[in-house]
Structure 1
């Protein structure tokens, strides 16, 4: 049998060859050409310690500078998890504040640590020990730090925050958060929900502390994994916001990723050369099987592939940067969970994943003996419209002697009402939900407010007619 394929190549010849890993013994730095090499990047580029640290500083400063978004008058909230990205970010900012006058970083900086110990199964003693290590690290770098817990993101009230020196752990909402996660059927949706709650808490705390920008420590490897996993979980339209340098879905608070050009390997070298310690803490899928979630399986795929093909992470990341969607950040009706414009509205001439899901549900309910035709699609739309009209009639009210019953407390809600205000990716998180008790309180309250506003507009339009 001929081994030449349709493109004229022999088997495997057209694919990218494995990277030949260079050795640092007797290797000379390719930048200064004088010092002995200490670092190997991309499998072949050798750098000495001095040149590597100078290159890392330049890369960080260039990422901030080329966007021209960060101003000296800004107040920055730094999300510090204790991992490699946020630890290196704090050190680079501190070093930048001691540069010469024309290079100095002079914006105001505040550090925030989110305690996720309740989700990750840590005891109170383990959580206090980790927070104490975070506090010492922050104080050594002379930053003002605050602590809050992840359960603050699911409530409607203003989040409670404490200074790191107090070492106070707020565990009042731990049960509510864990109960919420336990209602989700798999770890993929749990990780997605935690990521969205974390982002929401960043914005809430930034507003409370008077910060207008948030720095997160997402590195190139993390973002390459997120690109592939986002597409897998139906968030392809959100890629520019989820992996780009700027996430401006919230008009008041920008989330920036100044470490996005650093790979995990570069961060390890940087921390070792500066004698910085990572503060380890378990995650939701720690010690779990690689197939436990889409995110963890994607992480193994990307990291394993990058070992032999060193351009994997950069290729995926740069490709993701070039992807563009027409979903913008200006919307009068954003998703109540991720704050992105809804991508669930389709026209009659379009075919969408939501329509495919609706048809699959319709077929499953009819049974195996039923024969189908093209008219069944229109029946699905009619049934959906009838259900929508029924809910509007149930929620409709009129003013009487006791006052208007359109207050957000009196509006009747079902999960279908909440689903209307969720984007496709967020719908998949709560796809098994059948009760409002399985949803975060802030989402339910947000839907009540929106429906009250819709009812009010409808009443006004009917009155004017």
Structure 2
């Protein structure tokens, strides 16, 4: 019988290793660091190694063209700071072959999700902005709660080009925290989610929405993120555990093209967290520590946090752990859907719910239907179609909406609320689990609900005119 109690540390005890003085594997000079078991480098060779790996990742993809505008996400952490420094070095005059794209920098403040005060959020934004301003690139600051006010029309190239201005001074930071109503809506949405795993997943989706929205408004065709191999290995296993196995290829690949107009690229995905940290130390790269929703929390607080502890623990003892996980992930492939209606309304990934009746998802749906048997029975016998006049109007087969009549049949309600089943029909399997504990689906951001409403109207219209449509299979060649 296992004697290990819950909460005990089961990591293997590390043995002290006596490391002899080593020489650089490239030039035979004295080594200053060891990236893997046998890869010892001096400072000069390590800089060449890192720079070459970064430039090769961009060059092999052939995605970023000369003169193209690229939006770089800066979180203030080690990986994004490393990416920013490599971009600066690649664009400087002393670079052997200069990078040709035009970067812009953006920082998204997520302090509202952990209850930070306005002063604390302002201090964090000030530190990150000072780092970004030194580069001379265009800088933008966004708050996560702004995702609650995004419009569906913003995700097209015809969006308003004057919505967000570049932040060029610390004084303008005070404008960042004027979204009181949006912050209240975000906090209400976060409080409705019971699990920290769901909250982390939602924050990631909202952050991506803001990046895509800003890139479209400011004319950027690519979004560059500082995700290293360690971070992506954790993300890969987390996706599988949370039911996003069909989307692993998009979440961890060099290029994520789930959005038609914007491509997300990860040029340092081949860097381990150790290489990133050593690069920053040797180059005195500044970074800012900003607490997140799982900072100082227990390892088991969320799936992603627990997976991170598992992967980093293995990596400490077996240096090839993350590279093996990444190589496995590279063998996976996700087919991009041509229509936006075949994409999840929250994460924009292809819908993975169109499955045969014998699938596991169908079994889950059947179990949920059986568990809601009482409510289904009540809905069958609810045939009253008259307006109740008591604040809500609920007709047979219709959605609940605000009533405008007096109970005399004159109800002319405005746009009705979406039901949970209608919302779930536009979501992938993992995002359905995300909102499973959400009591009121109307708390979702407005642009998501608008997208789902439009899909419902198109589906209804298509079913009405279906008999008049030509069947492509029967048309002559």
TM-score of the superposed pair, with normalisation by structure 2: 0.81
Residue 223 of structure 1 aligns to a residue whose secondary structure is helix
Instruction: Judge which range, 227-236 or 150-159, deviates more.
Output: 150-159
1:447 to 424, 428, 452: 452
Q: CA deviation at 1:24?
A: 5.9
Matches within 5 A, 1:165-176: 165=169, 166-168=172-174, 169-170=176-177, 171-172=179-180, 173-176=182-185
- The question of 1:249 aligning with 2:258 is answered yes
Question: Which residue in the other structure is 1:66 paired with?
Answer: 60
Matching residue of 1:289: 298
Q: 1:72-221 alignment to 2 at 5 Å?
A: 72-98=66-92, 103-157=97-151, 160=164, 162-165=166-169, 166-168=172-174, 169-170=176-177, 171-172=179-180, 173-221=182-230
Inter-CA distance 412–177: structure 2 relative to 1 (3 Å threshold): closer
Aligned equivalents of 2:15, 2:93: Cα separation in 1: 38
3-state SS of 1:358 partner = helix
* Structure 1 residue 355 displacement after superposition: 1.8
Q: RMSD between aligned alpha carbons?
A: 2.8
- CA distance change for structure 1 residues 391 and 237 in 2, over 3 Å: closer, same or farther? farther
Instruction: Give the secondary structure class of the aligned counterpart of 1:103.
Output: coil
Which residue does 1:435 correspond to in 2?
440
2:339 pairs, out of 325, 331, 336, with: 331
Find out whether 1:416 has 2:421 as its counterpart.
yes
Encode CA deviations 1:279-301: one digit per residue, 9 max, x unaligned: 00000011111000000000000
The partner residue of 1:54 within 37, 48, 52 is: 48
**CA contact under 8 A between 1:24 and 1:37: conserved in structure 2?**
no
Give the TM-score of the pair, scaled to structure 1.
Answer: 0.83
Offset from partner CA, 1:148-188 (integer Å, 9 cap, x none): 11111222335645515222322422221111111001001
Q: Which runs of 5+ in 2 are unaligned?
A: 1-12, 155-162, 381-393, 400-411, 471-477
Match of 2:366 among 359, 368, 373: 359
The alignment status of 1:267 with 2:273, answered yes or no, reads: no
Which stretch of structure 1 is more off in the superposition, 138-147 or 209-218?
A: 138-147
CA contact (8 A) 2:103 2:137 kept: yes
Count of aligned pairs between the two proteins: 415
Q: Secondary structure at the match of 2:149?
A: coil
Q: Does 1:300 align with 2:309?
A: yes
Between stretches 408-417 and 84-93, larger displacement belongs to 408-417
Cα deviations across residues 216-253 of structure 1 (Å, max 9, x unaligned)? Answer: 01110000000000000000000111000000000100
Deviation per residue, 1:245-281 (Å, 9 max, x gap): 0000001000000110111111110001111121000
Unaligned runs of 5+ in 1: 1-17, 368-379, 385-389, 396-406
Structure 1 residues 430 and 79, CA gap change in structure 2 (3 angstroms) = same
* CA shift digits 1:29-73 (9 cap, x unpaired): 11111x111011113321111111110000100110111111112
- Is 2:461 the counterpart of 1:456? yes
| Other-structure match for 1:309 | 318
Partner residue, 2:403: none
Offset at 1:409?
5.1
Q: Is the 8 A contact 1:43 1:310 kept in 2?
A: yes
Given that 2:192 and 2:439 are in contact with CA atoms closer than 8 Å, whether structure 1 keeps it comes out as: no
State the 1:22 CA deviation: 7.2
Q: Secondary structure at the match of 1:148?
A: strand
Q: 1:162 to 1:123 in 2, by over 3 A?
A: farther
Paired with 2:243 and 2:75, the residues of 1 have a C-alpha distance of 27
Kindly tell me: are residues 230 and 181 of structure 1, through their superposed partners in 2, closer, same or farther at Cα, counting changes over 3 Å? same
Distance 1:214 1:75, change over 3 A: same
CA–CA distance in structure 2, aligned partners of residues 122 and 200 of structure 1: 22
Counterpart Cα distance in 1 of 2:185 and 2:113:
11
Q: Distance in 1 between matches of 2:318 and 2:396?
A: 56
1:27 and 2:28 aligned: no
Q: CA offset at residue 339 of structure 1?
A: 1.1
| Partners of 2:76 and 2:289 within 8 A in 1 | yes
Does structure 1 conserve the Cα–Cα contact (< 8 Å) formed by 2:254 and 2:265?
yes
